[in-house]
Each structure stands twice: as C-alpha cells, then as structure tokens.
C-alpha cells in the first residue's frame, strides 16, 4: 500500500503502512540532504504557500527549506500583517489564496480544527503545521524518524512523553503515531497538565518522573505552553523544574542508552536542564530539526504525486 491521502491533516487517519512509506522516503531524503544531492525536479512548477497564523521558527523554516530543496515556488504569507488583522474570516482568506492557484498549502492556526475546515474550501493539498491543541502531524513523523534512526526500529519501544501534555498537539500526534506502531507509551505529568479522558488513549499514566522514566528507551520532553494556560496550572517554574524538569538524576532512571527529545522551543531550566539538552551522547534534539526538513520533503513529495494523479496530465502546469 502506498500513501493515498490528499491532505496531511493529522496522524489519526493514517495507516501504519502509510507512515512507514513516508518515513522510508524521508530517510532517503535525509541521506541525500547530508550528501548535498538536490531534487529540484520533484516539485518543479508547483506553488507552495505557507500560512502561519501563529508564531513559528523551526516548522516554518523547515517547510520553506523543504519546498525549495524540491524546486517548488515558495511563498510565505505574513499572516500577522495580513487582512486577517482587519477582520477577514479564515474562509475568506482561504478563498483568496485558492484563487492564486497554489498546489500545496501549509497552515498553522491557533484553533483546533481550523486547518481541516480550510482543507474543505480549497482545491490543493493542505498540510497541517499545527492546529491549536489538536494535531501536529509532521512533528510526530519527524520524531518517529529520529527514534527509528537512533533505535533501529519503531515498534516495541518504551516511550515516555513528559510535561504539559494537556496543551500539546505534539503529544496528541505522537500518542497516535507511536500507538499505531505498537509501542508502549507512558505519559508523565502533574494532574493539572494531564488531559481528561487520558484512559482512552491506551497509555500508562504517571505523576512521578522517577517512576514513569524507569527503563524507558525514549524520553520526550514537552514545552510548558504558557500561552495556552489561563490560570495556575503549576505552583512555580522552580517547583515545576524540581519535580518534572529533566535533569541527570531523573534521566538515570531511564535505560542507559535512552535518548532525549524535545520539539522546541525549549524553556531551559523549566522542563529541561540545559546540560541534558546539549549532551550529544543523549540528546537528539538537533537531529529532530534535521529530520524535520526530510520529513516535510517526503510529505510534500507524496501529496504532490497524488495531486498530479488526481488532476490528470492535461492540468499539470509547466
């Protein structure tokens, strides 16, 4: 089975074989990127528009670079400065962009579900670059590729996801992806940062870092998402670091070869000790960024193939 989807809106609808197809292609792009082999023919003649309604550093840069490496014409819409600020609705913005005939639309939006809604209004491939607390599929895929390369497999691993799970689209997408690939998932968070209905996720839940990290293969830390909090979720950052911040003492409970991950941006000294984040023997945080470009190249390549097949030869623009 190949990759059939028209859009990449989330991990939820993907079949494990589609995930593997995408990761295999991304792995070869990662190797080619390292060797400086260009693939500018893959998206040649296609237009990619990046619409980020929320701030982003690595995700936007990574989609931009991925598109350029594959030869697309890439445009960044500065949504902060756009007509959205003048009160234009999401749908009006989408229809305006659609009239410009993009082929790939990359969207980040603060509201869960906004990207799905937009995908129904346009006739191009839409990639979700993060929607509210819902999904961030390319982040989960780049995390999966990083884990697979570090551990040599993506199944039967014990993986701890720690911190602000309640506000995290990264956690949601990762729980779905890692679950589909048959890993053991542990969620570690204070009760205030654990999402409700967590029992349905097929995961083990811990309040205590030392217990939750015991013998895990992968430690995935999450940023404390202060912008999504509207009250006192934690007593203080100092107290949070003491109980939930990843430091050498807590990491010692994981397997000796456990890897440390973080999607970035990091709050050093809040959810992670800077020394752990920078420890090249344990931390794969920079590798995650590198795999981000490769995964986005693979995702856009596969969706563009489906788009071209759906349009037929007469409609392909040259």
For binding to ligand NCD (CB under 6 A), which residues are involved?
58-59, 130, 136, 139, 169-170, 223, 225, 263-264
Nearer to ligand NCD, 262 or 307 (CB): 262
The number of residues in the chain equals: 318
Query: Are 186 and 267 within 8 A, CB to CB?
Result: no
* Min separation Cβ 286 and ligand NCD, Å: 13
* Min separation Cβ 266 and ligand NCD, Å: 9
* Min separation Cβ 99 and ligand NCD, Å: 29
Nearer to ligand NCD, 71 or 195 (CB): 195
Query: Are 197 and 172 within 8 A, CB to CB?
Result: no
* Min separation Cβ 76 and ligand NCD, Å: 16
Listed in sequence order, the residues at least 6 apart from 75 whose beta carbon sits closer than 8 Å to its beta carbon are 47, 48, 49, 50
* Min separation Cβ 162 and ligand NCD, Å: 13
Q: Would you call the peptide bond into 118 cis, given omega within 30 degrees of 0 as the criterion?
A: no
* Min separation Cβ 305 and ligand NCD, Å: 25
> Among candidates 294, 286, 12, which has minimal Cα distance to 131?
12
Q: CA-to-CA distance for 189 and 212, rounded, in angstroms? A: 9
* Min separation Cβ 244 and ligand NCD, Å: 15
Return the residue nearest ligand NCD (CB atom). Answer: 223
**Is the sign of the CA dihedral 276, 23, 187, 155 positive or negative?**
negative
Nearer to ligand NCD, 180 or 223 (CB): 223
* Min separation Cβ 273 and ligand NCD, Å: 17
Nearer to ligand NCD, 297 or 307 (CB): 297
Nearer to ligand NCD, 169 or 250 (CB): 169
Nearer to ligand NCD, 47 or 288 (CB): 288
Nearer to ligand NCD, 136 or 250 (CB): 136
Q: CA-to-CA distance for 5 and 302, rounded, in angstroms? A: 9
Listed in sequence order, the residues at least 6 apart from 291 whose beta carbon sits closer than 8 Å to its beta carbon are 26, 30, 142, 145, 146, 149
Nearer to ligand NCD, 47 or 139 (CB): 139
């Amino acid at each position: 089975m190949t990759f059939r989807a028209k859009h990449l809106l989330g991990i939820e609808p993907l079949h494990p074989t589609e995930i593997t197809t995408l990761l295999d292609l991304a792995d070869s792009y990662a190797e080619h990127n390292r060797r400086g082999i260009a693939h500018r023919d893959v998206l040649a003649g296609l237009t990619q528009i990046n619409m980020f309604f929320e701030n982003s550093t690595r995700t936007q840069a990574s989609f931009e670079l991925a598109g350029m490496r594959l030869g697309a014409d890439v445009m960044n819409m500065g949504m902060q400065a756009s007509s959205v600020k003048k009160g234009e609705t999401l749908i009006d913005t989408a229809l305006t962009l659609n009239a410009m005939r993009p082929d790939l639309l990359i969207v980040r939006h603060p509201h869960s579900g906004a990207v799905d809604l937009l995908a129904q209004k346009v006739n191009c491939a839409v990639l979700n670059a993060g929607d509210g607390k819902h999904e961030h599929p390319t982040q989960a895929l780049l995390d999966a590729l990083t884990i697979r390369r570090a551990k040599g497999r993506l199944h039967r691993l014990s993986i701890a996801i720690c911190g602000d799970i309640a506000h995290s689209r990264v956690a949601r997408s990762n729980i779905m992806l890692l679950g589909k690939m048959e890993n053991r998932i542990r969620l570690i968070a204070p009760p205030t940062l654990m999402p409700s209905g967590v029992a349905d996720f097929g995961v083990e839940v811990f309040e205590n870092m030392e217990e939750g990290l015991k013998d895990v293969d992968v430690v995935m830390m999450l940023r404390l998402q202060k912008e999504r909090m509207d009250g006192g979720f934690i007593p203080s950052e100092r107290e949070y670091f003491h109980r939930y911040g990843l430091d050498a003492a807590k990491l010692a409970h994981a397997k000796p070869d456990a890897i440390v991950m973080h999607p970035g941006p990091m709050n050093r000294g809040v959810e992670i000790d800077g020394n752990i984040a920078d420890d090249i023997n344990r931390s794969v945080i920079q590798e995650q960024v590198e795999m981000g470009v490769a995964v986005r190249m693979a995702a856009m390549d596969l969706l563009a193939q489906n788009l071209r097949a759906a349009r037929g030869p007469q409609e392909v623009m040259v």
